[in-house]
């Protein structure tokens, strides 16, 4: 009976939900995926329909449970995309679309919060900046992609939504509200609102001064708890809708970056993981609170008790591959066959893509440089350049940007990070894993079932909460698919390519500012 007891893990990504049952040994049982639409609009708008999220989650849960019989579900654990905003009314129903992590429309209103007076240093009132950094570890991003900017956008441009909102919730916390009827945010999910005192990662609370800076009403923000707390039980109506037992406990859960770290087995301090999905990040847990304002990087509360997490994120990674695939083959679906074809093209081209370099800034960039005006591009094409060179250049361009992330995180942690697990959809590609190993000059460990890393992380978080597994034992539960050593023969090519990549950024950032600012 012990082996049939599972956590129902729900991972709501930008492309849609993944759902599976997770055993205490980290096994993924069953499993189903659904897709949802991404609604982009002029001026930096990026939204999704919360009703569509829920419909897709219900379908994925029911499909998963049909695959597995005799399973005992001990808890539900949710992980989702981070840095989004769902306005809900007093009945817990969404008011319009969710504003997601890609949306930058609130940037124009940040000045009233970050620098309302005449004295400014890089866009911030020095006194406010000091308090933000001392309490939260960071400050509202000028790119306007944090929830505080989303809320300011609603207040200024959708006042009907703002005034009707009983709560502004992160996507994870909205899904938990649907499950339990209880509005809660976790210490980790609330962090990018920049409204909380994070000096103790196990005792996070709102700060009155920070709320006053933003001019936000505390009553419109949820109560806080730890990711490992049980926030409530699945309601009878939802239990019937999903097909699970009434009263099943719901764990606080965690955002995708945090669950990926758990699912990759990187629980120990300074054990880094690389996630390649729609976006990508390089992240690790650290035992200290620290901030690097220049590179927009800070320690924030982790889902693992007593720890902080630090990360550097690039906005478009796997999405760059999808974007180029759609240009090359607009009538073909983005499926395994197409990805295999693109991989074969890239594998036929030598490292360095015959001199072609791609910059992956399709939607601006957040870290290690915060610049919403940056854009993607191919450089150094010739009449001999074909599709294969350009496909490989996209893979290498994402890896070059990852090297930039790695250098920044290593400066932050003051140590070399190596033997890095690679997870997410991009980790399905052995070629891309090897390219990262060569570009980063680090050993890359490709985890098994990498697209289920967030599901596994959410499940193992719940098992640790329930006491069925210890945090220290989680790493041993995570299977490895392949290990990729750096190829010394490619060192000169990729060192030169990376140096050129950085020079391209430096030479063109002013042009991007004039074109897109």
In the chain, what percentage of residues exceed pLDDT 90? 91
Residues in Cβ contact with 209 at an 8 Å cutoff, skipping those fewer than 6 apart: 131
Predicted confidence (pLDDT) per residue in 115-140, tens digit: 888 777 878 899 999 999 999 999 99
| Locus of tokens 């609370």 | 205
pLDDT value of residue 312? 87
The whole-angstrom separation of Cα 332 and Cα 347 is 21
| Locus of tokens 């120990």 | 268
The whole-angstrom separation of Cα 226 and Cα 413 is 25
Is residue 2 predicted with pLDDT exceeding 50? no
Helix (H, G, I), strand (E, B) or coil at 138: coil
Is residue 82 predicted with pLDDT exceeding 50? yes
Predicted confidence (pLDDT) per residue in 434-492, tens digit: 999 999 999 999 999 999 999 999 999 999 999 999 999 999 999 999 999 999 999 99
Distance of alpha carbon 418 from the chain centroid: 21
Q: Identify which of 106, 87, 102 has the alpha carbon closest to the alpha carbon of residue 13.
A: 102
What are the E-state strand segments in 226-279?
230-233, 249-251, 254-255, 273-276
pLDDT value of residue 367? 77
- pTM of the predicted protein model: 0.94
Helix (H, G, I), strand (E, B) or coil at 222: coil
Domains 2-252 and 280-516 in one fold: yes
Delimit the domains of the chain by residue range. Answer: 2-252, 280-516
pLDDT value of residue 460? 98
- Per-residue HEC secondary structure of 429-451 comes to CHHHHHHHHHHHCCCEEEECCHH
Predicted confidence (pLDDT) per residue in 236-292, tens digit: 999 999 999 999 999 999 999 999 999 999 999 999 999 999 999 999 999 999 998
β-partners of residue 455 are none
Q: Which CATH superfamily is domain 280-516 in?
A: ATPase, nucleotide binding domain (3.30.420.40)
**Yes or no: domain 2-252 corresponds to CATH 3.30.420.40:** yes
- Per-residue HEC secondary structure of 353-372 comes to HHHCEEECCECEECCCCCEC
């Amino acid at each position: 009976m012990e082996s049939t007891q599972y956590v129902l893990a729900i991972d709501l990504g930008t492309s849609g939900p993944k759902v599976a049952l997770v055993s205490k040994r980290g096994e993924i049982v069953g499993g189903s995926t659904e897709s949802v639409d991404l609604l982009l609009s002029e001026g930096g708008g990026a939204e999704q329909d919360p009703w569509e999220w829920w419909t897709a989650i219900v379908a994925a849960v029911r499909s998963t449970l049909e695959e597995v019989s005799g399973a005992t579900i001990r808890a539900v654990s949710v992980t989702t995309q981070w840095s989004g905003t769902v306005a809900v009314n007093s009945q817990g129903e969404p008011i319009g679309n969710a504003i997601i992590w890609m949306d930058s429309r609130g940037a124009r209103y940040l000045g009233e919060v970050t620098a309302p007076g005449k004295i400014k240093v890089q866009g911030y009132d020095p006194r406010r900046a000091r308090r933000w950094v001392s309490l939260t570890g960071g400050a509202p991003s000028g790119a306007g992609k944090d929830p505080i900017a989303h809320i300011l956008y609603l207040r200024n441009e959708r006042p009907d939504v703002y005034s009707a909102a009983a709560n502004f919730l992160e996507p994870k916390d909205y899904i938990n509200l649907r499950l339990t009827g209880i509005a809660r945010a976790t210490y980790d999910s609330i962090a990018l609102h920049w409204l909380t005192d994070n000096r103790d990662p196990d005792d996070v609370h709102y700060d009155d001064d920070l709320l006053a800076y933003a001019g936000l009403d505390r009553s419109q923000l949820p109560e806080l708890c730890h990711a490992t707390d049980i926030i409530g039980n699945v309601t009878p109506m939802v239990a019937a809708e999903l097909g699970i037992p009434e009263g099943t406990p719901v764990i606080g859960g965690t955002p995708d970056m945090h669950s990926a770290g758990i699912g990759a087995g990187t629980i120990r301090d300074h054990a880094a993981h690389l996630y390649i999905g729609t976006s990508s990040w390089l992240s690790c847990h650290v035992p200290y609170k620290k901030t690097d304002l220049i590179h927009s990087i800070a320690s924030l509360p982790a889902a693992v008790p007593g720890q902080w997490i630090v990360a550097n994120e690039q906005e478009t990674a796997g999405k760059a591959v999808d974007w180029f695939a759609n240009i090359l083959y607009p009538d073909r679906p983005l499926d395994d066959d197409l990805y295999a074809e693109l991989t074969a093209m890239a594998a036929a081209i030598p490292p360095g893509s015959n001199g072609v370099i791609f910059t992956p800034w399709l939607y601006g960039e957040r870290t290690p440089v915060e610049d919403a005006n940056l854009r993607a591009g191919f450089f150094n094409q010739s009449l001999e350049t074909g599709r294969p060179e350009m496909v490989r250049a996209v893979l290498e361009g994402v890896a070059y940007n990852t090297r930039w992330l790695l250098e920044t995180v290593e400066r932050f942690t003051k140590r070399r990070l190596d033997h890095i697990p690679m997870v997410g959809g991009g980790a399905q590609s052995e070629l891309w894993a090897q390219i990262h190993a060569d570009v980063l000059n680090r050993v890359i460990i490709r985890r098994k079932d990498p697209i289920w890393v967030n599901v596994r992380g959410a499940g193992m978080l719940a098992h640790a909460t329930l006491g069925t597994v210890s945090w220290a034992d989680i790493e041993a539960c995570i299977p490895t698919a392949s290990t990729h050593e750096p190829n010394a023969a490619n060192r000169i090519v990729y060192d030169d390519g990376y140096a050129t990549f950085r020079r391209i950024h430096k030479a063109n950032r002013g042009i991007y500012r004039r074109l897109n600012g």
